[in-house]
């Protein structure tokens, strides 16, 4: 306490610099005088010294000892499997950070990682293209919500699909949906010949057609349900059985339904692909893809090797954004589905609509199967305008809430003339419009479509009733 008394004695005289020139007896006398003549200053000095000691103690102790109370037990992966989907989506890969106890996951942006003295990885990571902690957290969550054993995150959905296809050996045969995402058909047309892989496009909602298309060399059946953009529904359990009878893999593009509404691995699929750019990200601000495997098998290792060598790795920040999106996936998909159902019913009754493609409608050919394998029917639908291509594009030009843009799964509603987006070689009907129904109030969205349909009709030239020959 001598130093403190000297410090504060000097401070009373107008300086904040401790007086180290005093000998020991002077310091003791100063301390004695402080205790008896200035008890208030003495008490403050003791308090400050104690506080300083505590601050130094907590500041310099090892991070690993930062929490003396044992951390609460978090739900293990095994426990999560038994929980409802909403709980899985919130808690998968959500263990608080061990070093800081932060509840929100950290973003690890480092591209490289320190090695041990013997040059082995210290914590399992070496270089960002091979993996990073944020990507690993996302993969843990993806596996949990899709009921798989292993997941791999990618830079895009088509990058994820391509990595699976690149594991096929020369001479393999693949069955693809006749109504599949156009980039999948482009891969088959432009790249399969280089890889010495053959394919057939098949109506996956026709099991007999699938059975007839199978060959001895068929190694993969790839399905979409609902399909893009005609919203066809195929029986995933039946297709899985058919594939496995022929010792082929069964893969499903689950982007439209998401695991909130449909989990193909639980129906027999070997793997599920997602464009996480869409509903899993959920805010139109991140690009990504994923493959989830039913088993942590040699196939998963081969796909991971393709990703690492060819470089379709997900960035840490994009991985973090998708992981954040997963937390609200269940509640978002409920509203997307409810809104889409209302809009589909409106369009189905409108006189200018030739046909509405939405599996939630009882008139949809795949409604019964969709009801069996989906909990709700999703936020995607398409419809055909009676007067053809020009009329359909005219409707798009007159919407005010619906944004004319490609992609899907964000909070905002989008409308798209799909044939224009797909370009040359499209198989989509020219009068078809695709909707990604957002989270706005359904009455406002219906009113927007109503005025666009009415406004487009009013702007079209009216026939005089006189034929050109008259």
Active site residues: 129, 181, 253, 278
β-pairing verdict for 218-224 and 173-177: parallel
What are the two backbone dihedrals, phi and then psi, of residue 73, each rounded to the nearest 5 degrees? -75, 130
Helix (H) and strand (E) counts in the chain: 19, 12
Distance, in Å, from the CA atom of 235 to the CA atom of 226, rounded to the nearest integer, reads: 10
Structure tokens at 43: 């008490």
* Full DSSP string of 256-307: TTHHHH--GGGGT-SEEEE-TTTTTT-SS----EEEEESS--HHHHHHHHHH
What DSSP designation does 63 have? G
What are the two backbone dihedrals, phi and then psi, of residue 55, each rounded to the nearest 5 degrees? -60, -45
- Decide if 74 contacts 99 (C-beta within 8 A): no
Question: Residue 446 belongs to what H/E stretch?
Answer: helix 442-459
* Full DSSP string of 219-245: EEEEEESS-TTT-----HHHHHHHHHH
Distance, in Å, from the CA atom of 145 to the CA atom of 137, rounded to the nearest integer, reads: 13
Which alpha helices (H) appear in 114-213, and where do they start and end?
Answer: 133-145, 157-165, 182-190, 192-195, 207-213
Residue 28, preceding bond cis, omega within 30 degrees? no
Question: 167-192 burial, b for 16+ CB within 10 Å, e for fewer?
Answer: bbeeebbbbbbbbbbbebbebbeeeb
């Amino acid at each position: 306490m001598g130093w403190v008394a000297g410090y504060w004695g000097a401070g009373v005289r107008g300086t904040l610099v401790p007086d180290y020139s005093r000998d020991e007896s002077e310091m003791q006398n100063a301390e004695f005088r402080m205790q008896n003549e200035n008890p208030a200053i003495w008490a403050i000095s003791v308090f400050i010294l104690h506080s300083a000691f505590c601050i130094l103690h907590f500041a310099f102790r090892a991070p690993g000892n930062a929490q003396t109370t044992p951390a609460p037990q978090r739900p293990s992966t095994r426990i999560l499997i038994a929980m409802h989907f909403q709980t899985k989506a919130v808690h998968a890969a959500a263990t608080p950070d061990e070093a800081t106890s932060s509840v929100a996951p950290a973003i690890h942006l480092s591209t490289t990682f320190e090695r041990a003295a013997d040059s082995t990885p210290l914590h399992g990571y070496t270089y960002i293209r091979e993996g990073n902690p944020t990507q690993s957290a996302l993969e843990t969550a993806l596996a949990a919500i899709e009921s798989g054993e292993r997941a791999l995150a990618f830079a895009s959905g088509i990058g994820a699909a391509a990595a699976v296809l690149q594991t096929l050996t020369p001479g393999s045969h693949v069955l693809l949906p006749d109504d599949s995402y156009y980039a999948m058909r482009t891969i088959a047309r432009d790249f399969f010949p280089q890889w010495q892989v053959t394919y057939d496009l098949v109506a996956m909602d026709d099991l007999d057609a699938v059975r007839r298309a199978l060959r001895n060399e068929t190694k993969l059946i790839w399905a979409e349900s609902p399909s893009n953009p005609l919203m066809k529904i195929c029986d995933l359990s039946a297709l899985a059985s058919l594939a496995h009878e022929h010792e082929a893999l069964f893969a499903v593009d689950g982007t439209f339904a998401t695991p909130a509404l449909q989990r193909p691995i639980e129906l027999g699929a070997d793997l599920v692909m997602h464009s996480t750019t869409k509903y899993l990200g959920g805010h139109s601000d991140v690009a990504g893809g994923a493959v989830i495997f039913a088993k942590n098998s040699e196939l998963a290792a081969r796909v991971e090797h393709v990703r690492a060598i060819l470089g379709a790795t997900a960035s840490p920040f994009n991985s973090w954004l998708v992981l954040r999106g997963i937390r609200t996936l269940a509640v978002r998909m409920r509203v997307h589905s409810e809104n889409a159902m209302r809009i589909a019913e409106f369009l189905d009754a409108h006189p200018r609509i030739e046909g509405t493609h939405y599996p939630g409608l009882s008139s949809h050919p795949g409604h019964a199967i969709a009801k069996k394998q989906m909990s709700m029917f999703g936020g995607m639908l398409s419809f055909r305008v009676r007067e053809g291509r020009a009329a359909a594009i005219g409707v798009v030009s007159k919407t005010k809430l619906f944004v004319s843009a490609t992609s899907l799964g964000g909070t905002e509603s989008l409308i798209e003339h799909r044939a224009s987006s797909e370009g040359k070689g499209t198989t989509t009907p020219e009068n078809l419009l695709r909707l990604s129904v957002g989270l706005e109030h359904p009455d406002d969205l219906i009113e927007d479509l109503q005025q666009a349909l009415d406004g487009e009709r009013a702007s079209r030239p009216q026939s005089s009733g006189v034929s050109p020959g008259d």
